[in-house]
Amino acid sequence: MHIGFRKLLLLLAVTTLCLFCLSLMLPSNILSTNGAAPFLLLELLNDDTDIAQTILIELRIPRATLALFVGASLGLAGAAMQGLLRNPLAEPGVVGVSGSAALGATLAFYTGLATIAPLALPLGGIAGALAAVIVLFSMAGKRAGTTTLLLAGIAINAIAGALTALVLNLSPNPFAAMEIIFWQMGSLADRSLLHLQLAGPLMAAGWILILLAAPATRALSLGEVTAASLGTNVRTTQRQIIVGTALCVGAGVAVTGVIGFVGLVVPHLLRKLCANDPAKLLLASAGGGATLLLAADIAVRCIPVGTELKLGVITALLGAPFFLYLIFQLRTLEQ
């Protein structure tokens, strides 16, 4: 299949828009409407619009917009990290950036800090993500292979996961310990406009930083020395990507929990369509991530289960087999 980059972007934009509108029209769970699925558009046109308006503005817009923002963030961050670490398996969830972000966010939330200063929640997530990216980058900078990167990811994920569980267990609130599933599997259910206000601008700032560095990533993909000889400021570009990724992933995870594999699947599906251009891939991956997460969130709401199905379940079911496939491919390449 060969389509131009502009057509690809247009296609992604249209799909995202359609899925966004579909997400606004769907109830939080198709089972919960008890047979008669009320159609929100009709309700909004009816006389009794107060309730429909509240549902649209307070529940569905935050949910759909967060799916869009977090999906775009994860897709973009995946593509950016793969460029930065020069490894096709670098993905925020796999290498532990999302896990560390969850640790930072749980620390800010369960200690009560975020109750006093709500901004502490996304900032905690960002701090956690930043720490993980810096550790990974300092390792990959010394020409680490795929194995080292993945093993480092396992270690970071294990530490972050254990500490998150510890924070939840140390909380005097008896409900806290059971909320580990939210932080490890992610969810967009019952998020509010407040969460969007807290995390949205920070995620957008991350996108801007990464996209500003996009042109320089072309030169950087040829290696640091070549890039420097071409007049690229290597350090600045790398810093922009590191901070940008931390902002995107940290702020997103702080309000939705860890949603894995989006940053792995999306860049891989789009790489060929972008003619292997790292700068184009960044932009396309943002669109692809948004599409994937909106679709996953719609799937979660349409699968008839009694209790809430976590978003990370869907993305892992899609992404983990894909991850295995990529490892097999890399193995045959290495041999």
Chain positions contacting other proteins, by CB under 8 A: 27-29, 32-34, 38, 50-51, 54-55, 58-59, 109-112, 114-115, 171-176, 178-179, 182, 190, 192-194, 307-308
With respect to other proteins, which residue has the nearer C-beta, 125 or 263?
A: 125
- Rounded to a whole number of angstroms, the minimum distance from the CB of residue 57 to other proteins is 8
Please, what is the minimum distance in Å from the beta carbon of residue 33 to other proteins? Answer: 7
**Closer by beta carbon to other proteins, 59 or else 264:** 59
* Identity at 242, one-letter amino acid code: I
Give whichever of 80 and 105 is closer to other proteins, judged by the CB atom. Answer: 105
CB of 101 to other proteins, least distance (A): 16
Supply the minimum distance, in Å, between the C-beta of residue 285 and other proteins. 30
What CA–CA distance (Å, rounded) separates 221 from 84?
Answer: 8
For residues 95 and 180, which CB has a smaller minimum distance to other proteins in the complex? 180
DSSP per-residue codes, 93-128: TTTTHHHHHHHHHHHHHHTSHHHH-TTHHHHHHHHH
Location of structure tokens 């599906």: 269
Q: How far is the CB of 308 from other proteins (least distance, A)?
A: 7
Q: Contact 104/158 with Cβ under 8 angstroms?
A: no
Cβ atoms within 10 Å of 46's Cβ, excluding its own: 9
Instruction: Quote the least distance from Cβ 138 to other proteins, whole Å.
Output: 34
CB nearer to other proteins: pick between 148 and 171: 171
Q: Is the dihedral of CA 102, 203, 291, 288 positive or negative?
A: negative
Alpha helices in the chain (DSSP H): 5-25, 40-45, 49-54, 61-84, 97-110, 113-116, 120-140, 146-170, 180-185, 193-220, 224-229, 234-256, 262-271, 278-302, 311-334
Residue whose CB is less far from other proteins, 267 or 312:
312
